[in-house]
Chains A and B, each alone.
Chain A
Amino acid sequence: MTADGDPGTGIEAEPRFSTWTGKARGWMLHRLPPDKLLPEDQPSYVASWIYVFGMGAIAALVYIIVSGCVLALNGPAWYHVSGLGHFINSTHLWSVELFFMFMVIHLWGKYWMAAWRGGRVLTWITGMIAFVVSIVTAFTGYLLQTNFDSQWIAFQAKDALNAVGVGAWFNVANLGQILMWHITLLPLAVAGVVALHVLLVRMHGVVPPLEAAATDAQLQQDLPDSAAGEGKHL
């Protein structure tokens, strides 16, 4: 690794690495330095209730995953029969209800403040993907109730899935396959996309309100490099 600096200005240039591990580290440190990843404070415009719903959705998701682990470890013979099993099963469902409510309100808020501004397009896209993958995950959860409701939902859905040509690989009438999708692949997908979404929020900063002035010192400080010299992105 070498680091060249301009002795006249005192500004240190970005270090140059020769190995792929060093280059990857340099890229990550440049795009997401530790003070951006885990900041101590936020811009003053974040002090609004509309900014809490993303974190609310994450809190609900954490409980969904924890309660899902408890359900998976004990199995349906426990959560369909015992009192505590029924309770954990119910809180798993209700935390999903909260997750979707918070996520939809978060979506409304971000839509009406055009949250894709300032180089945040990927943040918006990963949020959309997280929403869609969550819907599929919740759908497979409804199929696992193993009652007449889930049977009805499955046999309504199979026609739609067959119509779009995925029924052979995603067979809602195959309970074992749907269980595996619900407890392994889809939770990993949701957690992965949400983690990427949060990292992108940290990289680009929380989107400012539409009425924030382009000259606001807080915004200049938090702008990504590509947008720093172009006020039009604000």
Chain B
Amino acid sequence: MSGLVLAESGISAPGIYLGLGSFLIQFGNLIVIVLMIILFVGALFLPFPRGKDRK
């Protein structure tokens, strides 16, 4: 409910931050970076479907 009120008033929630020493990252940004690395590594190793009449 408080999140809804914040959203309606245009004030963002503070968000979740993860830190290790001097390194600090917002949880949402971390998800995006990890997802990109998973997609990149997957693209390198996952087999590509072959077309029926591919030369």
Contact = CB atoms under 8 A, between A and B. Distances in A.
B35 A101 contact: yes
Interface in B1-55: 10-12, 32, 35-36, 39-40, 42-44, 46, 48, 50-51, 54-55
A44 B55 contact: yes
Contact of B54 (A44, A52, A53, A105): A44
Nearest to A145: B10
Contacts, number: 42
A109 interface: yes
A49 B42 contact: yes
Contacts of B40: 50, 105, 108-109
A50 B43 contact: yes
Contact of B50 (A47, A52, A104, A146): A47
A19 B10 CA distance: 60
A47 B48 contact: yes
B39 A148 contact: no
Contact of A53 (B12, B43, B48, B55): B43
A9 interface: no
B12 A149 contact: yes
A97 B29 CA distance: 11
A108 B40 CA distance: 8
A148 B11 contact: yes
Interface in A84-115: 97, 101, 104-105, 108-109
A105 B55 contact: no
A97 B32 contact: yes
Given A101-B32, A101-B35, A48 B43 contact: yes
Contacts of B48: 47-49
Contacts of A49: 42-44, 46, 48
Nearest to A44: B55
Nearest to B10: A147
| Nearest 3 interchain pairs by C-beta | A147-B10, A49-B43, A50-B43
12 contacts: A49-B42, A49-B48, A101-B32, A101-B36, A101-B39, A104-B36, A105-B43, A109-B43, A147-B12, A148-B11, A149-B10, A149-B12
